[in-house]
Amino acid sequence: MYHNILVPISFDSERDVSGPLKLAQLLGTPEAKVTLLHVVEHIPDYAISYMPVEYLSEARTAIQAELDEMASKLPNATAEVIEGHSGRSILDWAEANKPDLIILASHRPGMQDIFLGSTATHVVRHAQCAVHVVR
């Protein structure tokens, strides 16, 4: 049983977040701390100039609200939104906060993942704790 569980959440349509949330409840101790984490990728400077000024703050607020709602359904869960590259940011957060388990949802890999790699692959290869990947 695990005591400190990190569940990175992606809002991609091809990822089902219910699986990792259920697994966190099953694998955690009754008092386990669960953190739902979403990484907002940086928008390139050339693209940001075409977006409304309030876009980033409104998007971040909406994402935080969605994560807070998910967290409210789990005992001892909190939600956090950070910025950066998803794979590296998840690992940096894990290094700083020392979870004993990371539960990731993953899509079915395609050709692009052979050349570019996926977030789940990056986390599995470099995490200092147990990682459970859910498809």
Q: Which domains does the chain possess?
A: 2-134 (3.40.50.620)
Confidence of residue 115 (pLDDT cuts 50, 70, 90): very low
pLDDT of residue 114 exceeding 60, the answer is no
What dihedral angle (degrees, nearest 10) is formed by the CA atoms of 14, 71, 123, 44?
A: 70
- Predicted local distance difference test score (pLDDT) of residue 112: 54
Calculate helix-pair angle for 119-126, 86-97, nearest 10 degrees.
30
Q: What is the mean pLDDT of the chain?
A: 90
pLDDT of residue 55 exceeding 60, the answer is yes
pLDDT of residue 113 exceeding 70, the answer is no
